[in-house]
Amino acid sequence: MRAYERLLRYAQFDTASDEHSPTCPSTAKQRVLADALAGEMRAMGMADVRVDENGYVYGCVPATAEGRPTIGLIAHMDTVDCVPSAPVRARIVENYDGGAVRLDNGEWLDPKVFPDVAAAKGKDLIVTDGNTLLGADDKAGIAEILTACERLLADPAIPHGKVMVGFTPDEEIGRGADRFDISGFGADFAYTVDGGAVGSIEYENFNAADGFVAVHGLSVHPGSAKNRMRNAALVAMEFAGMLPPAETPEHTEGYEGFFHLCGMQGNEDFARLQYIIRDHDRAKFEARKAAFERIGAYLNDKYGAGTIEVRVQDGYANMREVIEPHMNVVRLAERAYRAIGVEPFSEAIRGGTDGARLSYMGLPCPNLASGGMNYHGRFECIAVQDMDAMTDMLVQLVSIDPE
């Protein structure tokens, strides 16, 4: 079976996670896919397959050569819930011509808006109907990993060490590594397969924090509100307006950090803002958090103590500082790409992966491509041939002599 065929099947599972849920996995529907994957892994002959009480899936391909490292391959099962996640109706645009693709809902997947898509010219492009995401983030990674494992199991002449496989829930809400069983996993090092263009190796990511702002107002009848009302919604807008307007995701790229307003609600009496705060540079990251809190202090001085409550909660950190002592892991991935005729490149992730958290937990874990484009939206797509290439790369990755 080819990787794209698996992706089309996995896409039928609605696995959106829910940041407001206290459970693990955060949605029961992720467990449905977990059980299906475990069944598939057992059927293809993988060993030690299990789904634990938290919905994590584990299994392994036994070694065929001695003296090789135990390599882990990891992907996540959940998708975002900020756009519709079901029912996914995908189709394949064969021999894509490089132009705009009319989706089934009448909208257009246009390279003028999504320039990365033009690189898929001449390939078979999997697109959505325009109403939901595709789920290639990260079901493409799962499909590529299991297709590579199937190939290894079918050909015991391929020399490789033990290959450990792990599929996590709730990566999209920042919890994918929370309950990952690193000691039970038993890998010397690992890779998440959760990136973009084929050839990429990512070992730098944002430092991340969540910012929460609560505004306590004083509601008074508008007819008698002069010099009395303190409108919480307006104070919240004032807080938002004091952050640098050009330092938002839509105005930044590369190593530039940002403040991103991702949730708001409120009225005259009470208002709430939710932000994510990101920067690759540790000093700049700390400065962003300090500025966020300083605005709250200023508005409390202006409107009275207790008007504003600001809370900043750290999330994940830039994995570069813990990967750099283990650059042999990156070099191995570079060799695997070159073995399939692809020149590797490194880029900083404008986000985070399970690998960042796992690296700080003691498992060096850079991120590899899965081939997908336009993640977290209705214009998500992926090329069949890029999934084939990543499958080939993973086979090379675990079978190349690490020297």
User: Could you tell me if 310 and 391 lie in one domain?
Assistant: no
Question: For residue 77, which of 57, 54, 52, 51 has the smallest C-alpha distance?
Answer: 57
What pLDDT is stored for residue 27 in this prediction?
A: 98
Angle 214-217-219 (CA atoms, 0-180°, nearest 5)? 145
User: Could you tell me if 67 and 185 lie in one domain?
Assistant: yes
User: Could you tell me if 217 and 70 lie in one domain?
Assistant: no
From 279, 314, 349, the end of a domain falls on 314
From 288, 314, 340, the end of a domain falls on 314
User: Could you tell me if 290 and 156 lie in one domain?
Assistant: no
User: Could you tell me if 328 and 297 lie in one domain?
Assistant: no
**CATH number of the domain to which 109 belongs:** 3.40.630.10
User: Could you tell me if 290 and 337 lie in one domain?
Assistant: no
Tokens 């994918």 identify what position?
Answer: 176
C-alpha 2, offset from chain centre: 23
Tell me the one-letter amino acid at 402: P
Q: Which ranges constitute the DSSP H helices of 97-163? A: 136-154
Is residue 238 within 8 A of residue 299, CB to CB? The reply is yes
Give the relative orientation of helices 384-399 and 136-154 as an angle to the nearest 10 degrees: 50
What pLDDT is stored for residue 16 in this prediction?
A: 97
User: Could you tell me if 130 and 242 lie in one domain?
Assistant: no
Active site residues: 78, 171
* DSSP conformation class of 88: -
3-state secondary structure (DSSP) of residue 253:
coil
What pLDDT is stored for residue 353 in this prediction?
A: 81
What pLDDT is stored for residue 394 in this prediction?
A: 98
User: Could you tell me if 306 and 359 lie in one domain?
Assistant: no
User: Could you tell me if 337 and 229 lie in one domain?
Assistant: no
pTM for the model: 0.89
User: Could you tell me if 226 and 192 lie in one domain?
Assistant: no
* DSSP conformation class of 222: G
User: Could you tell me if 293 and 230 lie in one domain?
Assistant: yes
From 263, 295, 314, the end of a domain falls on 314
Please enumerate in sequence order all residues whose Cβ is within 8 A of that of 349, keeping only pairs 6 or more positions apart, or say none.
195, 202, 204, 205, 206, 367
What pLDDT is stored for residue 195 in this prediction?
A: 87
- What is the rounded CA–CA span in Å between residue 288 and residue 9? 43
- What is the rounded CA–CA span in Å between residue 372 and residue 196? 5
- The secondary structure of 137-206 as a DSSP string is HHHHHHHHHHHHHHHHHH-TTS----EEEEEES-GGGT-TTTT--HHHH--SEEEEEEESSTTEEE--B-
Residue 371 falls in which region: left (phi positive, over 0), alpha (psi -120 to 50) or beta: left
User: pLDDT per position in the chain (403 positions), as tens?
Assistant: 999 999 999 999 999 999 999 999 999 999 999 999 999 999 999 999 999 999 999 999 999 999 999 999 999 999 999 899 999 999 999 999 999 999 999 999 999 999 999 999 999 999 999 999 999 999 999 999 999 999 999 999 999 999 999 999 999 998 999 999 999 999 999 999 998 899 999 999 999 999 999 999 999 989 998 999 999 999 999 999 999 999 999 999 999 999 999 999 999 999 999 999 999 999 999 999 999 999 999 999 999 999 999 999 998 899 999 999 999 999 999 999 999 999 999 988 888 888 999 999 999 999 999 999 999 999 999 999 999 999 999 999 999 987 7
User: Could you tell me if 154 and 230 lie in one domain?
Assistant: no
Structural domain harbouring 106 = 3-204+318-399
What pLDDT is stored for residue 363 in this prediction?
A: 96
**CATH number of the domain to which 254 belongs:** 3.30.70.360
CA-to-CA dists, residue 398 to 13, 75, 123, 391, angstroms: 29, 16, 27, 11
What pLDDT is stored for residue 34 in this prediction?
A: 98
Question: For residue 169, which of 13, 312, 393, 47 has the smallest C-alpha distance?
Answer: 13
3-state secondary structure (DSSP) of residue 307:
coil
Burial class (CB in 10 A: 0-12, 13-18, 19+), 196: buried
Number of domains in the chain: 2
Is residue 268 within 8 A of residue 232, CB to CB? The reply is yes
